[in-house]
Amino acid sequence: MSLIMGVIALVGRTSGTFDSYASLALWPTEFWRGRIWQAVTYPLLPFGLADLLVNGFFFAMLGTRLVQVWGRWPFWRFCFVAVLGTAVVKLMLTPLNRGGLVGISGVIYAMLAAWYRLFANEEVCFMGVGQVRMKTAVFIIGASNIIFNLLCPCGFWNALATLGGAVTGWLYLAAQSHWALRQDAQTLPSQRISRLEL
């Protein structure tokens, strides 16, 4: 869906037919004037063709494994939380940068954080490097994506905002782990008591 929307948005913008970026990209001043939908629609729009292809590749590569581990709906919930986290950081940076935010870089960083948490010590064959641990591959991919974001005209502040996706993803998974541990700790005593009652 996002890929199709991205292609349509790019074609409309380059042809001059329509510009969905004005209403769907996250423009902080417009958001504060009531266009709150922009906090969730900005990832539907790529910054350009390179952004669409590079981040589309990373989304497919990273997302496929996460869907296998978590399932479809928990994966999409995680992506939605990452989108909101990136938007919140962007809106917090409004006094420093009023430019628009588009693309799924925040979600990519969140998925990289998830891969680090879930698969950090797995060995993978990384292009041009050879066998490396997943945590090393995550840092290489993350660093290359940061460089890619910094080279775009969107600049430093949007790159910083998209890193908010990584922080949000990490905190979301940490909260889930903490909550799961608390649930397990609460069920253990009741199982022991039920065994004693028998």
pLDDT digits (tens, 9 = 90+) for 145-186: 778 777 766 677 888 888 899 999 999 999 998 887 777 666
With helix as H, strand as E and coil as C, how does the chain read?
CHHHHHHHHHHHHHHCCCCCHHHHCECHHHHHCCCCCHHHHHHHCCCCHHHHHHHHHHHHHHHHHHHHHHCHHHHHHHHHHHHHHHHHHHHHCCCCCCCCECCCHHHHHHHHHHHHHHHCCCEEEECCCEEEEHHHHHHHHHHHHHHHHHHCCCHHHHHHHHHHHHHHHHHHHHHHHHHHHHHHHHHHHHHHHHHHHC
Domain of residue 101, CATH code: 1.20.1540.10
Among 23-27, 123-127, 175-179, the range scoring the smallest mean pLDDT is: 123-127
* pLDDT value, residue 67: 96
Contact 141, 118 (CB under 8 A): no
Give per-residue pLDDT as tens, 75-123: 999 999 999 999 999 999 877 777 888 889 899 999 999 999 999 888 8
pTM for the whole structure: 0.83
156 or 62, which is more confident: 62
Residues in the chain, total: 198
Among 12-26, 46-60, 74-88, the range scoring the smallest mean pLDDT is: 12-26
**Band of pLDDT at residue 136, cut at 50, 70 and 90:** confident
Identify the domain containing residue 71 by its residue range: 2-197
**Band of pLDDT at residue 74, cut at 50, 70 and 90:** very high
pLDDT beyond 70 at 132: yes
**Band of pLDDT at residue 10, cut at 50, 70 and 90:** confident
At 126, give phi and psi (nearest 5°): -105, 135
- Percent pLDDT > 90 in the chain is 36
Instruction: Output the CA–CA distances (angstroms, integers) from residue 104 to 133, 139, 186, in the order listed.
Output: 25, 18, 38
Torsion sign (Cα): 63, 69, 74, 77: negative
* pLDDT value, residue 18: 75
Domain count, the chain: 1
Q: Which two tokens stand for residue 67?
A: 């869907």
Contact 109, 162 (CB under 8 A): yes
99 or 198, which is more confident: 99
* pLDDT value, residue 153: 65
pLDDT beyond 80 at 198: no
Q: Which residue matches tokens 């541990």?
A: 181
